[in-house]
Chains A and B, each alone.
Chain A
Amino acid sequence: MSADFLYGIEVVINGMMAGVLYALVALGFVLIFKASGIFNFAQGVMALFAALTLVGIMEGQVPFSHLINAVFGTNIHNFGWEVPALLAILLTLVVMIVFAWAVQQFVFRHLVGQAPIILFMATIGLAYFLEGVGDLMWGSDIKTLALGLPQGGSIWVEDLTSGFGGADFYGFFIDKLDMVATVVAAVLVICLIIFAQYTKQGRAMRAVADDHQAALSVGISLNFIWVLVWSLAGLVALVAGIMWGAKSGVQFSLSLIALKALPVLMLGGFTSIPGAIVGGLIIGVGEKLFEYTIGAPFLGGATENWFAYMLALIFLVFRPQGLFGEKIIERV
């Protein structure tokens, strides 16, 4: 096999791994959209906020220390302890659940029945708010997430695959962190599907997604389900935040993964969990392959920013509801 072809395969594998991470973010969107009809733009910022909180708790930072110092003229920064990773993750999860409750209690409970565009704008407002709160609480400098996840290329895979090609091929280069992320994301997706299919709360969640009024009439509390869904989205955001944060540091650009997840959603359909996964894989592989074959050699590179959107746009012209979305029926 020629080396170019093998590199192509490597690109595809890396693309699929990136795609799994996109799918993970997209899942958070789908969960909330299905249950409440809210298109949650703040999902990316939630991932950033979760990662910031995790780092802050692990390092024992005092929340809002910057603000407190500016107002009272004090000079405090740290509690002086360090929290083990697992406990810190649990604490962060508690923070995300409190956040979910607050969002439901103070914002979206008052917006039930509004037009979708209004709800969407509210989530953009929420994104700004959360970004500001995250920066105020933990500071805006770039942080490293030291969870002890493996980093760097996998020698093992390189050694194993170097025999496929000729003398100029050294085996597939695959980041260990990407492999871990793929496994974690896959496990999380399976857990979510099991939760939605087989538990009482999961069934209630699906009932709400199907029909609000019918769910209400059989005694399901809409408020509880919405808090639950936002909490689940918080969990997904935490996992996505850990994976992306370990990869490129915890910083503002982390919140831009929301923009990566949008074309995935369009492609897969806003209401479909399998759609999010398949869409993520198609976008991940597609953008890496396009960059490798056409973007970098002919168009000057950095095509990844828009290619996913163009691909989704072309798909949508032929299937306006996405690959797996519910068929849109309009009546006069």
Chain B
Amino acid sequence: MLYREAGDFKTSYEADSQTFPIRFDRIGFWVIMAIAFGVIPFMINDYWANAIFVPFLIYAIAAIGLNILTGYCGQVSLGTGGFMAVGAYACYKLMTSFPDVSIIIHVILAGGITAVVGAAFGLPSLRIKGFYLAVATLAAQFFLIWLFNKVPWFYNYSASGQISAPERFVGGFAVTGANTAAPAKYLICLVFLTVCALIARNLTRGTIGRSWMAIRDMDIAAEIIGVNPLKAKLTAFAVSSFFIGIAGALFFAVYLGAVEVGEAFGIQKSFLVLFMVIIGGLGSIFGSFAGAAFLVLLPVALKVIGVDLLGWPTDLVAHLQLVIVGALIMFFLIKEPHGLAQLWRLTKEKLRLWPFPY
């Protein structure tokens, strides 16, 4: 009844090409923003921040990044964990080398450094395609992890080989280090996510996003109609790595605080983010959010049900979790290969005609 475009007249080109053309969507968007910025920070505690909200926000940034590369430009990447590690280590080196500069600038610079590294590893994509490229990006994953393990300069010669974030402040509130309050952690991740999502949404609607999608649909045909594949593929790698680097920097500095590279940014992380993108929906910003929320919430929910309600041993629940995640992924792929975003799209189509579908 409420969800329809009838009666919502557009009188300018700006109004016609806005992100949410339907009024109900616009209102919904602002309501969600108001709740996210105005309500949750006052209610959040450490458990909710560390178990659900902060990982969700950070993984959503990483998923948006990977979605740009895989969903919009069609280049499958299994190197996400490695690129997140680049972001984390770049952020760490910047934080310890220039302690007076704001952490926000460090995180953005860390994203920029990751973008350069990502573009360098994206170069082979001009010759290598499909699965061969997916496997080739594993080279980045293993090489980068090995590099951060073996070269002591990256972890400032610390004895344990770990990196740990020193305390930094934004506007008088600690956002990294041991004394960070839950709302501060939550808010800094939320701000980064909001900005990243807006940038990504607008990039994918513009010229550059269209050239990515042309490359995804068929790169030779795109080249013939005048899309420069070098430029399109490398910008996709760079922009995607920029977001993934920011996610890695936040993951290290804000969420974990101390990181051992092989454990935090191993190949499992690459798969996790790829799952988020696939389950959420390839080529959809909303899908990145949905996928990240799903895969962050699922283990928490299973743990609450298995360990707390049924009283089963933790290792048993961990194994069951593998089985359930694996089965769910296969189930989703069989039932809806285009992910949660497609389900949402179908629901919206139905809603527009509801309650008189004929």
Give me the interface of A with B, judged by CB distance under 8 Å. 39, 66-67, 70, 107, 110-111, 114-118, 120-122, 124-133, 135-136, 140, 259, 262-263, 265-266, 270, 299-303, 305-306, 309-310, 312-313, 316-317, 320-322, 328, 330-332
Contact = CB atoms under 8 A, between A and B. Distances in A.
Given A115-B337, A129-B327, A132-B320, 15 more contacts: A70-B316, A111-B334, A118-B278, A120-B134, A121-B329, A122-B333, A129-B323, A130-B326, A302-B149, A305-B145, A306-B143, A309-B142, A312-B135, A320-B127, A320-B129
A309 B330 contact: no
A125 B319 contact: no
Contact of B139 (A107, A115, A124, A313): A313
B28 interface: no
Contact of B323 (A120, A136, A301, A322): A136
A270 B138 CA distance: 16
B288 to A, nearest CB: 16
B321 interface: yes
A270 B328 CA distance: 28
Nearest to A115: B337
Given A313-B139, A317-B127, A320-B132, A125 B316 contact: no
Interface residues of B, number: 48
Interface of B: 76, 124, 127-132, 134-136, 138-139, 142-143, 145-146, 149-151, 218, 220-221, 224, 267, 271, 274-275, 278, 312-313, 315-316, 319-330, 333-334, 337
B326 A132 contact: yes
A135 B326 contact: no
B131 A39 contact: yes
A313 B130 contact: no
Contacts of A317: 124, 127-128
Contact of A132 (B142, B221, B322): B322
A128 B131 contact: no
Contacts of B274: 121, 124
Contact of B142 (A114, A124, A301, A306): A306
A118 B327 contact: no
B319 A312 contact: no
B224 A128 contact: no
A332 B326 contact: no
Given A120-B131, A126-B330, A140 B139 contact: no
Contacts of B136: 266, 309, 312-313, 316
A128 B337 contact: no
Contacts of B134: 120
